[in-house]
Structure 1
Amino acid sequence: MSGSRYPGSVDVAIVGSGPTASAYARILSEEAPGATIAMFEVGPTVSNPPGAHVKNIEDPERRTLAQRASEGPGAGAETVNSPGAVKSGQRRARPGTYLLQDGYSFPGEDGMPVAAMSSNVGGMAAHWTAACPRPGGNERIAFLPDLEQLLDDADRLLGVTSSAFDGAPFSDLVRERLAAAVDSGRAPAYRVQPMPLAVHRREDGRLAWSGSDVVMGDVTRENPLFQLFDESLVTKVLVEDGAAAGVEVRDRRNGTISRVAARYVVVGADALRTPQLLWASGIRPDALGRYLNDQAQVVFASRLRDVSAGGTHPAAAGALSEQAGVAWVPYTDEMPFHGQIMQLDASPVPLADDDPVVPGSIVGLGLFCAKDLQREDRVAFDDGARDSYGMPAMRIHYRLTERDHEVLDRAGREIVRLGKAVGEPLDERPFVLPPGSSLHYQGTTRMGRTDDGESVCSPDSQVWQVPGLFVAGNGVIPTATACNPTLTAVALAVRGARKIAADINSALLMSESDNRLSKQ
């Protein structure tokens, strides 16, 4: 192991560098400042500061290079900038992501043909759309009494604001038209409102996307006891006497394998690779990989014909446009979908390519549907086959139920109604994106109130079977959500991180007390 760039031991080893893994690093840096922390990311550093959103890179060539570097084993494959390629039936990924080579569907199942991942410092938060709505109704985790406070903490870490687009020329108009069609009979919290977004103002005054760099914050970057190691593949969680004891990591720069001892291990990869690592480590609770759920997504577009160009300046390349805002139609149990009505350049769906349009006058509508949770919807792992990283190959089993199709049909009718309320529809009918398109995969390491065989981890995100091992990410969310899951996932990570911090601080106090007693 000579020449290893990794420490021999740390208090906490964190696998992954997305927003939830970064939340662990941040909370531990704030609340357990004496703890040594090592973070391992399989992909490279693609931005400065590490973990920043690549769309904040103004130079198009540099931004493209950063996206390509995030595509892991899929680098060089064709990517899609519009739903046109998706609609044509071609199986493609968005820039900065890559798809499974195989195992994404099986005969008689819907599968997830466009399930995607990213491999880079910052994870998917280097490529996301920054929407951070709060869950409502059945989306909420009923057994967490402190959920609202945790969501407040997640807002702080992500830098969430609902006022980013207050000056946009058409945001009020779009919300007014949506509200007229939606708000009747809804409680105030569930009425049309600005979308909470993880965005911030740069020094030049323009809006920029938050990434994992914002979650980490200066307190983490300036923590001398925190280290981030990129291009480092964790291949195994080490377990001794039934408890987490560290990680085995392969340096992807030279192929060497090292062992890093740790009192606590946090696996915060994503909803596919977190259960993959646990499986590869021989940690295989009954619920591992199960209750996999995506949010079926319906898209539509309308055009505001009765508007004229405002006086706002266009955004620099890569930055957020301030021509129009992002509206939110919250999920309700009666209407089990979440509406995201986006400005042109923040949407993954380009919306018009005919004649020149007034900036901000093309409105993209998307409805995300809550899944009918099924235990048999799962990501499984094949010990007899290996993926591009040498890990057990993924096999996705996924079906849309009769209820899912009913909700999709309702969402299709509703999105047309909303599109007509906003303006002039650009399409005759909405389009249902292929399974996996939302990138909001959840449930595979789900949290539970008790160890009943239907969950992987406790309300503190600690794996039931392995003390000291914590899981993080969207996979921990146990409910069927329609809203974007990042805020909730970060909130759950805050809870887990505070559990570790409290244990570390308690052990430190006990050690200091023992030392004082021994000297008396």
Structure 2
Amino acid sequence: MNARRYPHSVDVVIVGSGPTGAAYARILSERAPDATVAMFEVGPTVSDPPGAHVKNIADPAERARAQVASEGPGERGAKVANPGAAKAGVRGARPGTFLLEDGYAFDGEDGMPVAAMSSNVGGMSAHWTGACPRPNDSERITFLPDLDELLAEGERLLGVRTDAFDAAPFGAIVRERLSAAIDEGRTEATRVQRMPLAAHRRDDGRLVWSGSDVVLGDVTRANPLFSLIDRSLVTSVRIEGGRAVGVVVRDLASGDEHEVAARFVVVAADALRTPQLLWASNVRPHALGRYLNDQAQIVFAARLRDMPPLGADAPATGLAEYSGVSWVPFTEGMPFHGQIMQLDASPIPLAEDDPVVPGSIVGLGLFCAKDLQADDRVAFDDEHVDGYGMPAPRIHYTLTARDHEVMERARQEIVRLGEAVGDPLDSRPVTLPLGSSLHYQGSTRMGVVDDGTSVCDTDSQVWGVPGLSVAGNGVIPTSTACNPTLTSVALAVRGARKIAAVLAREQVDAASVSV
């Protein structure tokens, strides 16, 4: 599957190997098995199989090498900071990601100081938490009547389950205490519950996290007409007669450039680099890069009080193995999404005379829905370039009065929830720097009509450019607080089905003509 021979022409080019690009490859392999598909990824392959989550790499040294290899061009590894860096005001990236060198904030604006990306086969899905909640209330895309069916298909592709941490000894206790503080007046669907996760247990009990490898599945890996070429920078989408007809791609291993003709081009980079490629290709609809939104993130920690002694069969290591991952769904009355999981992966003493029950310190995180503004945007120009030589993202981003109000409510609520489950480790929650969520959305947003407020239609096809589609979190048009990957994969399913239907119909027409 992992090739280095560049094809002259294919039916479909996919730019980017994250979950949404992988979803296009999977649906096309299932529904249009005679179509030739080439996927190009700017980063290297860091896992076996390609696109697998790095947490599945058992050897810590190998895992660390995979993370560093994902950290883009330039000086790798130097910007990585621990989660507590936010308290000290340190601008740092998580392992496996890299930050913008500049252009992340401008005078008079809040900016996104820690906006980050990953460059590797699998994209951010090689490093993510695997949380896949469904959107609720205003998070939902109301103009898609088939949204629930698409979400169910996304869950199939990602391997989403809720039982990965059923054996966690403290999970039920955490949810019981949270429920007592939150559930009154909520519908059954929005009460505290297990977090849907793209993860499963092997027969030997080992936890396996989903990456793009799971989305691709065996059907794509076995497809002889599908190829994945890493270390390949797509520098432009070729447009002729107003239609996308292929891409120009640079082999980063040799420096050679290739033109690959295609019937359809799907740009599935990320919410910053998908608009980057469209801009570089002179595809610049008014909404390109606009309505950019992040989820402001508030975090807090508490030690679970009055915990029962652990049994002999309790897990000894592993993040979240003790308390699992619990979910507080977004509602209009509580416009944030909660994720509660174990903070410590091993016993740590709070004081010399106060040993901690292993796994009893939990981290609470609330993600806030953003007040959408057209002027919140990622922009590009001819002067600034990134480490790949492409137009550099320049982020303009400002919190509104409503955003500040929601964040203050979240700070108050998270302290209340922390006190409900245990004893807070600090009296004040931490507001992480903007961009920390890694959940950037809206920059290539979907719409019903081409009125200048959207980039693509409901099948993810770019307005006015036949043959060109976009994918990823940037396509989501609503303000969300929940983790966006499931929704973006669902939208990719819809787009891929459209392309597969066109290809299948043309094959039928060609067969009838030959007869």
Q: What is the TM-score when the length of structure 1 is the normalising length? A: 0.95
Residue 305 of structure 1 deviates from its aligned partner by 2.8
Question: What per-residue deviation string (whole Å, max 9, x for no partner) do you get for residues 407-464 of structure 1?
Answer: 0000000000000000111111101000000000000000001111100000000001
Task: Tell me how many residue pairs correspond in the alignment.
Answer: 509
Aligned counterparts of 2:253 and 2:349: Cα–Cα separation in 1: 43
Residue 73 of structure 1 deviates from its aligned partner by 1.8
Equivalent residue for 2:306?
306
Specify whether residues 187 and 360 from structure 1 end up closer, same or farther in structure 2 by C-alpha distance, changes over 3 A only.
Answer: same
Q: What letter matches 1:76 in structure 2?
A: R
Equivalent residue for 1:462?
461
SS in 2 for 1:392: coil
Question: What per-residue deviation string (whole Å, max 9, x for no partner) do you get for residues 91-116 of structure 1?
Answer: 11000000000100000000000000
Equivalent residue runs for 1:32-51 within 5 Å:
32-51=32-51
Residue 354 in structure 1 maps to residue 350 in structure 2: yes
Aligned counterparts of 1:58 and 1:159: Cα–Cα separation in 2: 21
On the 8 A contact 2:349/2:356 being kept in 1, the answer is no
Equivalent residue for 2:341?
342
Equivalent residue for 1:201?
201
SS in 2 for 1:393: coil
SS in 1 for 2:358: coil
Aligned counterparts of 1:496 and 1:315: Cα–Cα separation in 2: 44
Specify whether residues 320 and 429 from structure 1 end up closer, same or farther in structure 2 by C-alpha distance, changes over 3 A only.
Answer: closer
Equivalent residue for 2:7?
7
On the 8 A contact 1:139/1:482 being kept in 2, the answer is yes
* Worse-matched range after superposition: 199-208 or 430-439: 199-208
SS in 2 for 1:382: coil
SS in 2 for 1:247: strand
Aligned counterparts of 1:393 and 1:323: Cα–Cα separation in 2: 43
SS in 2 for 1:198: strand
| Identity over aligned pairs, percent | 71
Q: What letter matches 2:302 in structure 1?
A: S
Residue 72 in structure 1 maps to residue 68 in structure 2: no
Q: Which runs of 5+ in 2 are unaligned?
A: none
On the 8 A contact 2:54/2:127 being kept in 1, the answer is yes
Residue 205 of structure 1 deviates from its aligned partner by 2.2
Aligned counterparts of 2:70 and 2:425: Cα–Cα separation in 1: 33
Equivalent residue for 1:26?
26
SS in 2 for 1:445: coil
Equivalent residue for 1:483?
482
Specify whether residues 351 and 262 from structure 1 end up closer, same or farther in structure 2 by C-alpha distance, changes over 3 A only.
Answer: farther
Equivalent residue runs for 1:8-407 within 5 Å:
8-80=8-80, 82-307=82-307, 308-314=309-315, 321-344=320-343, 354-355=350-351, 356-407=355-406
Q: What letter matches 2:95 in structure 1?
A: P
SS in 2 for 1:451: coil
Aligned counterparts of 2:496 and 2:257: Cα–Cα separation in 1: 27
Specify whether residues 325 and 467 from structure 1 end up closer, same or farther in structure 2 by C-alpha distance, changes over 3 A only.
Answer: same
Q: What letter matches 1:421 in structure 2?
A: A
Residue 81 of structure 1 deviates from its aligned partner by 5.3
Q: What letter matches 2:331 in structure 1?
A: T
Q: Which runs of 5+ in 1 are unaligned?
A: none
Aligned counterparts of 1:36 and 1:393: Cα–Cα separation in 2: 32
On the 8 A contact 2:347/2:356 being kept in 1, the answer is no
Aligned counterparts of 1:217 and 1:311: Cα–Cα separation in 2: 37
Residue 26 of structure 1 deviates from its aligned partner by 0.4
Question: What per-residue deviation string (whole Å, max 9, x for no partner) do you get for residues 333-366 of structure 1?
Answer: 11100000012368xxx99663552222111100
Q: What is the TM-score when the length of structure 2 is the normalising length? A: 0.96
On the 8 A contact 2:305/2:421 being kept in 1, the answer is no
SS in 2 for 1:149: helix
On the 8 A contact 1:154/1:494 being kept in 2, the answer is yes
Residue 18 of structure 1 deviates from its aligned partner by 0.3
SS in 1 for 2:23: helix
Aligned counterparts of 1:143 and 1:353: Cα–Cα separation in 2: 52
Equivalent residue for 1:515?
514
Q: What letter matches 1:97 in structure 2?
A: T
